[in-house]
Structure 1
Amino acid sequence: MDILDLRYLAVTASAMSLTRAAEMLGLNASTISRRITRVEDELGVTLFERGRSGLRLTEAGRMMMIHVQRSLDDIEALIRAGRNNGHGLTGKVRLGVRLPPIGELLRSLLGAWRLAASDVELVVCEMNDHELQAAIAERRLDVAFVPRHALWPRAASMPAYREALVAALPSLHPLSASPAVTWDLLRGEVVLTQEWEGSHTALEFFASFLGSGIRFSAHPASKQTVLGLVAAGYGVTLATASQGTVGVPGVTYVPIAEQNAWVMVDLVWAADREEPVVGRFVAFIRDEARSRGLG
C-alpha cells in the first residue's frame, strides 16, 4: 500500500463510482479497480460493495476511510510545512541587538518585517559587543544589528540604517538649554562611555569625534546605567536619537550640530548559515536599506 492507493481510495469513496473516480483522476477505471482490490487483499477486508447502482462502502470501509483521510491530511500538512520552510515562510529568526529597538528606524524595520513574515517567529536578544560576536560565531544568534564601529574582522555584514547622535547632558548643565552643541563645546567635559574588558569600541568611537586628550570615564555597564550617571552629574555622554526618546529623569538630550554626528548600524550574520528563513530576513533588510539609499 502506498500514498497513491490512499488517494485512489479517498477519491473513489467520494465519487462512489469507479467511472467517476477514473474521470477525476485521469485514469482507467480498471486501473483503480485493481489498486482497490490489491488493498483489500492486503488488509483482508472488503472496502466496497459493488452493485448496479455503483459502489457502497462497507462498515470496514467506512472505518478505513477515517484513517485514510487522516493520513492524507497529515501528508499534505507535511508537504506544506516543507514547502513553507524551504521558502523561508515559516521558522524562527534569532536577532541580536546592541541598541534596543525603540527608535523609529529599527522599530519601523521590524514592523515591516512582521507584516511581510507574519508566520515567522522573531526572538530578540540584547547583548554587548563581545556577546554578539560570540553568539553569532556559536550559532546562538542568526543575525544581529551592530554599530559599524563595533564590527569584528571578517564579519559578513551590510548597511542597515543610520541614526543621528545627540549629547546627553545633566539637566542642570549650562549647555542643556542650548538649541545645539558642537564637538568643541563637548571636548572640555568628562565623557562617560561603556567599556568591557578587551573592548574599547565605544570609547574609540567617541574619540573619533572628540579627538585626543578627552577625559573619558569608562564603565562596564548598560547604556541606561551610564545615563543614570549623567543624571547624577558625573559627566556627559553621546546617545543615539532613539535612545533620546526614552526619558531619563535628570538627563537632557541636545542635538549635535555636526555633519558627522551619526552612527551607521549594520546587519551581521554567519556567512555559512543555510536556513531559508534567515536568508529571507537578510534579503528583506538589504532591500529596505537600498530603498533608503544605504545599499
Structure 2
Amino acid sequence: MRRRAIKNLCNGQPPPLLGSRIPLASLIQTLAVAEYLSFYRAAQALSTTQSSVSTRIKALEQDLGIRLFERNTRGVRLTEAGRIFVERVSAGVDQLDHAVKTAGMAASGECGRLRIGIHAMIPGSYLAELIGQYREDHPGIDVEIIEGTARKTIMQLRADRLDVAFVTGRPDLPDCHSRCIWTEPLLAALPERHPLAGRSAVTWADLAGETFLVRHAGTGPQVHDHIVLRLIGRWPAPSILRFDVGRGTLLSMIGKGFGITIVGAATSLLPTSGLVFLPVADEPEPIPFSAVWSPSSQNAALNNLLGLASEMRVSNLAP
C-alpha cells in the first residue's frame, strides 16, 4: 500500500510545501528509503537520482533536528526516531493518496451520492429499469430515492435536497433545466364490470359523466388537472374525487366499482384484479415524463444518469 501510494503521489513535478516547512517530495523519498532500506533502490523506484534522494533526506534531518537513518557500508536502517516518524508519515500519505483517488472518482461520477425525486417506481417501468441499470453501472454511487408530488420534488430540488426530479409533463421552469426522458400512452383504468370494459379503446367523450378517482400524492394533481382540461365544457360533467391513499389502494377502489381513473401505461404493469386498462384513442400524444435539475449542478453522477437515460431511450426506439 505504501509503495503504491508513494508512486501515485510522486509525479516528478516541483513539490509543494507540506505545512510551512517540509516539501512533500522529501517525505515521499523518506518513505521510499524506509521501504527499500537503500538510497539506490529508492531512487530507482522514484525515477530520480541517488544523490537527489540522499540530499533531500539529509536536508530533512537537518530541518527536523532528528537523525532518521543510520548509514553504513552495508546500507541504511531506521533509527528509533526514524521508525516513529515514518509510521506517522506513512499513515498520512496513505490518507492523502486515498483522498486523491476518491476526489478523482467523484469528479468522474464513480463515487458519491445521487438524490432522486420520483412520483413512483413501478417494477418493469422505464424509470425502474433506468435506476436499476444505473446502480449496476455505478455501484460506487449511493442512490437516494424520495417519492412525492411534482410540486414537492421541485421544491426539494430548489432547496438543494435533490439532484434531479422526474415529473410528469414538460415543465418550463425559468430556474431549472429539464429534458423529456420517456413517454407512456394514456390509459383509462375501469372496473372489469364497467359498460365500457369490453371495448378495445375509449374516447374522452365516452368518459364524460364518469366519477374519477385521483390521489392527493404522486401524480394525482397532474391527473386531476388533465381530466379537467380534457372534459371542460362536456356534458354530463365529470365528478372528480380526491383521496389521500396509495396507488394500490386507489386501484383496488376502482376494481370495487368506486369509479375510474386515467394512468400512464406503466401502472398497468402492477399486479391488479378486477380492472381493465384501455387506451384513450383521442388523446393527442403520449404522456411525457421529464427530468428536472438545477443549472448550477456540478454532480458528475447526475450527468452519467442523464447520459444513460438517453442511451436507453435510443435503444428502446430502435427497431
Q: TM-score, length-normalised on structure 1?
A: 0.85
Cα displacement (A) at 1:108: 1.4
1:163 counterpart residue number: 184
- Within-5 A mapping of 1:1-295: 1-148=22-169, 151=171, 153-154=173-174, 155-194=176-215, 201-210=222-231, 212-213=233-234, 214-219=237-242, 221=244, 222-257=246-281, 260=284, 262-292=286-316
Cα displacement (A) at 1:160: 0.6
Cα displacement (A) at 1:124: 0.9
Cα displacement (A) at 1:36: 1.4
Distance 1:23 1:200, change over 3 A: closer
Aligned 8 A contact 1:193 1:216 in 2: no
Cα displacement (A) at 1:152: 5.1
Q: Which amino acid in the other structure matches residue 82 of structure 2?
A: G
Cα displacement (A) at 1:164: 2.2
Say which SS state the counterpart of residue 35 (structure 2) adopts: helix
Cα distance in 1 between the residues matched to 2:249 and 2:241: 12
Cα displacement (A) at 1:74: 0.7
Q: How many residues align?
A: 291
Residue deviations 1:220-239 (CA, integer Å, cap 9, x gap): 53444433432342311111
Cα distance in 1 between the residues matched to 2:279 and 2:130: 24
Distance 1:219 1:250, change over 3 A: same
Cα displacement (A) at 1:177: 4.1
Distance 1:191 1:124, change over 3 A: same
- More displaced 10-residue stretch of structure 1: 237-246 or 256-265: 256-265
Distance 1:229 1:160, change over 3 A: same
Residue segments in structure 1 that go unaligned for 5+ positions in a row: none
Cα distance in 1 between the residues matched to 2:52 and 2:28: 13
Say which SS state the counterpart of residue 176 (structure 1) adopts: coil
- More displaced 10-residue stretch of structure 1: 283-292 or 230-239: 283-292
Say which SS state the counterpart of residue 145 (structure 2) adopts: strand
Aligned 8 A contact 2:197 2:276 in 1: yes
Cα displacement (A) at 1:181: 3.4
